[in-house]
Every structure is written in structure tokens, then in C-alpha cells.
Amino acid sequence: MKFAIIGGGATSVSLVDALDRRGLTQEIDLAVYEPEKEIGRGNAYRVDAGSALLNRQAEFMSIRWNEPRHFLGWLEKHPDPEVRAYAHPGTFPPRYLFGDYTSESFARLRDSWGDHGRSIEVFHDTAVSMTRGHEGRGIGITTASGTTHTYDGAALCVGTAEPVDCYGLAGNPRYTNDPYPLWVTVETVDPDDHVAVLGTSLTAVDIVMALLDRGHRGPITMVSRRGLLPGVRQQHRDTTSAVLTETAVRRAADAPEGLTLAAVLELMRAELAAHGIDPGILDGEADPGEEPAARLARHLDLAERAELWQPLLITAANDLIELVWSLWSDTERATYLRDYHHIFQSLCNPMPLRTAQRLLAAAGAGQLRMLGGIVDVRTQGEAFDLVCRDETFRADAVINSAKRETAPSPAAATALCASLVNAGLGQYDDFGGLTVSTADNRLVTAGPAAPSPVFALGQLSAGSLYYTSSLAMIARRVELVADRIAEAVALTKQQ
């Protein structure tokens, strides 16, 4: 069997590892398409500033769904004592170390394939189109350089979309649209510049931390439409849902109106109450009037006091969000995306505690401001005027981190996605990306077309699955895809 993986980041390595663990090194010839020289890092774990930390504890970062401490074990065996210092639960290592781990894992897997007489061929090229093979069997993949190869199937692991130039600032030398690699971006600004960071997400936090680490002296202003920063991650605690369970969700879905957003929120409130937590905390999180710095301080206080509500919420999200999303109507999904998506992302993708402490210290010292209500950004000579709801301020440089709330495909994969849709190998999803089967991430074809031999993992599947920004969630999905590939190999051998 010949199988292609489009993309060479952590998701790709997770899939190769899952195939290896199923004993398929003697059964499949793999090909990985990745224009970057190194396989395993992607944009998320590239070599970059040490201030860019993982936002989950080391013991929960792994390419293996069933072995969450796999990365921790790699840290423990590392020859560098500075790296081994992170080899205990509760640490937040720099993201580039996880990239080292994924890169080394791929090298090991490639050797394993070679030892068994099969190959993992790497094409440092961009896959730009995909077509159905002869008589509708398999697929053909064509690259930017013009080469074409045929395969029995493929998996799309193309990563996440780039930041969006919302205000048409591209081409201005003082504007940076994509902040990564951070160590390069922060060198483009004068240490005394007033830097405006567009966005208040984890990427925006990365930018600010890189500036502070470099010793930036000038003011920094983070600004977005809502001014909503990530929450602050607490120390991990195992929790078990008492009320918000799969059974309760399915029971609520049996109502005449189906599963509603209101019903899910009511189950969440009941879950908090069952653990002795005031359900009103959820209403407080939806308060648009809370100042960003005040919210950060409140979340830091909750984390330092180890309030149980956040672990409960994250556990429920990891266990049930895919089910809830699949049961909601399009109307409920649209309402959720408009009113609650930004809150969910903030609470379920929190920043490390020490990062929050540093941001709050910078805000307390008057160097860092966090604002909501941005309306426009206008170029004024070599500077920028940022127009917000309550004020307008001038900045010397602008670094972007703004992204769409739906799940678009990365720019490099736009042509590829269009080609496979045109070939009847998949279809676009109304909520972003490509529609996949919730059972195994196989692309869903339109009309009577034959089943697609193509799978999609990560953000491309977010329209169908919603929560795909966590590697742990992706790794769980990888196991399903690997099972389907193993079944196809077994069927081929029988024939």
C-alpha cells in the first residue's frame, strides 16, 4: 500500500507513529509532503524564542494519545541537564523542545521503516492538487514543482491558517503580518518603539513575552475586538463529571427542539453546583464589560488559589465538545460561534501561570496595556493610528496575530483543497475547512461519489469536529485514522 501525508508537523509524526505501533512498517510505503527542511516541527514547534512556552504541562504533551507522558520520558532521557530540568510534572517547557522531540521521533520512525524494507519518502515540496486515480481508484498528487505521484490514500495534516491582515497593512515595512519566528520579528522593532499587537490570543501573548525577554523598553499595547486574553492554567487535577455526562447530553438532545446551547449551559451550571462551585462564575466569564487587565488579575488569583472550576470545564470540553457540536443544529452552532466561541477558546486554551504573572507585572509597571474595541488601523506616514471604540492611539510598529473565528484552510493548502473538492474527493464545510466523518475523519464526498480515500486532521476538520486546536484532541483522532488505514491494509492482503 502507498499512502501520502500532506504536511510535516506534529500531527504528521503522530500519524506515522500510530501506524508504526500497529506493525505496518512492512506493509506501507509512506510519502510526506512538506516544503520545510525539517519534519516534525511545523509552525507550532519551530526553533524560536525560549519565551514561547507550551501552554499545557509537559506530562500531557505527546504524539501518542494513549501515552500522555511520552514527551516527559523523552525529556528524562535527554543528555542536556538544562533540558532534563523540565522532566517532571507541572513544567511548561519551551515549544521548540517539543519540536526537538517530534523531529527526533520522525527520524526514529523513518529508520524503523527502512529497517523493515519499506520507505518513508520525504518530498520537500508543496502539494498543490489532488485528483482521483485511474478508474476512480486511489489518488494522484501534483506538487508545485510539477511532479505527480499516485497513492492508495492520503491524510491532510496541513496545520493552521495564518494570521489575517484585517486592515490592509501588508507592504508597510513597520507591519509584521505573521509573527513567527518570534526571535526574528522582535529584532525588527526598536527597543523604544511603541508596539501595537493586533490580537489578544496565545499568539499575541507569545509576541509580548518575546518583546519583554528581549528587553523591550517602549510601551506595548495588545488590542483586539473584545480584549479577551487567554485564561490562566491551573495545576492539573483529575476530575469526573457528575452531571455533564454523555448520557445527560444525549438525553437533552431527545427534547423536541433537539440539543440547545441553553441546555448545555444549564448542564454546565449544574455540574459546577454539584462540586460546590457558584454557577454564576460562568455568567461572569461572559461579562463584556470587564477590563482585560482586571480579568487577567482575577484569573491569576483563581489559578493561584486552585479553584476547581477550570479543570471541570476543560475535562468536560475534552470529553464532550465533539458530541455536543455534532448534535447541535446549524442555528445553535452559529449562535455559539457568535456569542461563546471566543470565551471557550480563552478558558480551554489558557496560558501558563508564570506567563500571566509576567504580563500582569508589565501592566502594573505601566509598560503593557490591553484594550478591546478596535475598529480600524490607519497608516500615518511611518506610524499607525489605531482607532478603538473609546480612544485612538499611535504606534510605531504593528505586529499581527489576528485570525478568523471559523476554520479556513492555510493559504498554502487553498489550491489543494479546491482541487480535491473539484475531483469529488471531499466537500467544503459550512463551518470551515472540509467536511469529515465524525467516526474516522474521512472526507465526506458530495452526492453519489465513491467513498473518499482521503482523511483530514487538525484545523481542516474543525467545521465537523469544532475543537481541533489541541494536540491531545488531534492525537485521539489520529488513532481512528490509523485504524482505518490498518483495516485497508488487511483487506488488500486478503484480496
Give φ, ψ of 130 to 5 degrees.
-140, 135
Last residue in a domain, options 368, 400, 432: 400
Q: Quick one: 79 and 152 in the same domain?
A: yes
- Number of separate domains in the chain: 3
Q: Quick one: 33 and 62 in the same domain?
A: yes
Strands 127-132 and 139-143: antiparallel
Instruction: Taking residues 375-400, report their average pLDDT.
Output: 95
Instruction: Taking residues 203-224, report their average pLDDT.
Output: 97
Residue 411 belongs to a domain: yes
Instruction: Taking residues 220-249, report their average pLDDT.
Output: 92
Residue 240 belongs to a domain: no
Q: Quick one: 301 and 267 in the same domain?
A: yes
Q: Quick one: 91 and 223 in the same domain?
A: no
77 C-beta neighbours (distance < 10 Å), count: 9
pTM beyond cutoff 0.85: yes
Q: For residue 3, what pLDDT is reported?
A: 97
Q: Quick one: 16 and 90 in the same domain?
A: yes
The 3-state secondary structure of the chain, one letter per residue: CEEEEECCCHHHHHHHHHHHHCCCCCCCEEEEECCCCCCCCCCCCCCCCCCCECCCCHHHCCCCCCCCCHHHHHHHCCCCHHHHCCCCCCCCCEHHHHHHHHHHHHHHHHHHHHHCCCCEEEECCCEEEEEECHHHCCEEEEECCCCEEEECEEEECCCCCCCCCCCCCCCCCCEECCCCCHHHHHHHCCCCCCEEEECCCHHHHHHHHHHHHHCCCCCEEEECCCCCCCCECCCCCCCCCCCCCHHHHHHHHCCCCCECHHHHHHHHHHHHHHCCCCCHHHHHHCCCCCCHHHHHHHHHHHHHCCCCHHHHHHHHHHHHHHHHHHHECHHHHHHHHHHCHHHHHHHHCCECHHHHHHHHHHHHCCCEEEECCEEEEEEECCEEEEEECCCEEEECEEEECCCCCCECCCHHHHHHHHHHHHCCCCCECCCECECECCCCCEECCCCCCCCCCEEECHHHHHHHHCCCCCHHHHHHHHHHHHHHHHHHHHHHHHC
Residue 444 belongs to a domain: yes
Q: Quick one: 15 and 140 in the same domain?
A: yes
Tell me the per-residue pLDDT of 134-187, one tens digit each, with 9 for 90 and over.
777 899 999 999 999 999 999 999 988 889 999 999 999 999 999 999 999 999
Last residue in a domain, options 328, 348, 368: 348
Structural domain including 327 reads 246-348
Tell me the per-residue pLDDT of 390-400, one tens digit each, with 9 for 90 and over.
999 999 999 99
**Mean pLDDT, all residues of the chain:** 93
Give φ, ψ of 317 to 5 degrees.
-65, -45
* Share of residues in the chain with pLDDT > 70 (%): 99
Residue 301 scores a pLDDT above 80? yes
Q: For residue 287, what pLDDT is reported?
A: 77
Residue 324 belongs to a domain: yes
Instruction: Taking residues 198-218, report their average pLDDT.
Output: 96
Q: Quick one: 17 and 119 in the same domain?
A: yes
Q: Quick one: 477 and 418 in the same domain?
A: yes
Q: Quick one: 325 and 379 in the same domain?
A: no
More confident residue, 179 or 408: 179
Q: Quick one: 294 and 377 in the same domain?
A: no
Q: For residue 276, what pLDDT is reported?
A: 92
Q: For residue 382, what pLDDT is reported?
A: 87
Q: Quick one: 127 and 187 in the same domain?
A: no
Residue 238 belongs to a domain: no
Last residue in a domain, options 348, 368, 383: 348
Residue 429 belongs to a domain: yes
Residue 235 belongs to a domain: no
Residue 167 belongs to a domain: no
Single-letter residue type at 445: T
Q: Quick one: 201 and 256 in the same domain?
A: no
Residue 405 scores a pLDDT above 70? no
Residue 474 scores a pLDDT above 90? yes
Q: Please report, for the domain that includes residue 372, its CATH number.
A: 3.50.50.60
